[in-house]
Amino acid sequence: MPDKEISVSAKGVSIKGEVVDDVRPVVRRLVKTSDSILRLLDNVVGLPVDYVSNNLERFRQKYAARFEEIPPADRQEPPMRIGCAVIKNAAYSADEPDIQDLFANLLAAASNSKTVQNVHPGFATIINELRAVDAVVLRHAAEVLDSGRLRPLNMRPADVSPEEYSQAISNLVRLGLVEWRTGGYDANELQKLAPRTYRYDRVEHGERLLVELVNDFQKMKIELIKKLGAAPRNQNLKVTSFGRHFISAVTVRSENNSPDM
């Protein structure tokens, strides 16, 4: 509600000309605005007004838009620890609009009573340690999660070079958002080592069967050595529980259910 719709006089508090006996709902409605929340956090953190207005306008607009998407009954002031961390770290991303969007989404998640429990105080610091390419790889992880299919994350996005992808993965692992996991060989992989079934029907077939068995055993040995030698390189990347909560907090599902970061 715009401030100009509320007036205070000797008769009490008025909203559009109607006198209100109990001011508590009015105060509560005033608090639950994105602008009032940002003003409060700006004052606590102590950022200069001119810096905020000149460098964090995108962040403020994005947060206001996300805040409006929250059902009014679920809107709340974010925990002070989280809110101040977001504002302080967002100040360092003045020249990175995409990173500002992540901060805005995070603050919106903390301003929602339904999602705030999954927002960790360290998420703001994590965003501050992401590069734009890291966010692209992380968005890829969100898409994998959103697809509902169990598949490894070690598939490089088309617009990310191998070197950038390697650096991004190393950073995401360092931040605890993804991790390497080694799994055992499944039945299909083991079946490939010995695909044939041998039958000994007649005595005259014995010599030929023995030759085939020896040859196949030799092939299986070579293939097994290759697989065991390549095991460290065949590890799969998985999103950690911490990473799942982070992705949920900094991404927004649009109408087509695709993550917006």
In this prediction, residue 43 carries a pLDDT of: 87
For 172-187, the pLDDT digits (tens) are 999 999 888 776 666 6
For 123-160, the pLDDT digits (tens) are 999 999 999 889 888 878 777 665 555 455 667 888 88
Q: How confident is the model at residue 52 (pLDDT cuts 50, 70, 90)?
A: confident
> 34: closest CA among 8, 73, 6, 60?
60
Find which of 14-23, 35-44, 80-89, 151-160 is predicted with most confidence, using mean pLDDT. Answer: 80-89
User: Of the ranges 23-32, 141-150, 194-203, which one carries the lowest mean pLDDT score?
Assistant: 23-32
- Greater model confidence, 96 or 255: 96
Is the separation of the CB atoms in 63 and 34 below 8 Å?
A: yes
Q: What is the C-alpha separation between 34 and 67, in angstroms, rounded?
A: 6
Question: What pTM does this model have?
Answer: 0.67
Provide Rg for the chain, Cα atoms.
29
Handedness of CA 155, 160, 162, 166 (dihedral sign): negative
Which token pair is 130?
Answer: 């992401």
In this prediction, residue 113 carries a pLDDT of: 94
Q: With 80 as the cut, is the pLDDT of residue 250 above it?
A: yes
